[in-house]
Amino acid sequence: MSDSEEAPKIGFITAAFDPRFPNINQTKHCWHNFVDYHRCITAKGEDFAPCKQFQIAYKSICPNPWVEKWNEQVENGNFPAKF
């Protein structure tokens, strides 16, 4: 890379602090953001921009295997929460 070229900038976005979940264990925070995202897109549609905040939060907090399992449950209609 020459001096005139800049290195690409990489940005990281994580969930903001939520005073409802002040503890280190973020399991409930993860769950609520996943459910809130799906409730939001059910009510407003996938193109509704504020829903993206919930998605960003749960994707940064939740372990990938949980999200994969929950998405399968949503697709199969047996997810344990109502949207």
pLDDT for 4 equals 61
Residue 5 belongs to some domain of the structure: no
Number of folded domains that form the chain:
1
Structural domain including 40 reads: 27-76
Residue 3 resides in a domain: no
If you ran DSSP here, which 8-state letter would residue 15 be given? P
Tens of pLDDT, residue by residue over 53-81, are 999 999 999 999 999 999 999 999 999 99
Q: What is the pLDDT of residues 14-55, one digit of tens each?
A: 777 777 777 777 888 899 999 999 999 999 998 899 999 999
Write the CB contacts of 73 (distance below 8 Å, at least 6 apart in sequence).
79, 80
Would you say the pTM of this structure is higher than 0.75? no
- Cα angle value 51/57/61 (rounded, 5°): 150
Q: Domain containing 65 — which CATH number?
A: 1.10.10.140
pLDDT band at 1; cut points 50, 70, 90: low
pLDDT for residue 3 = 56
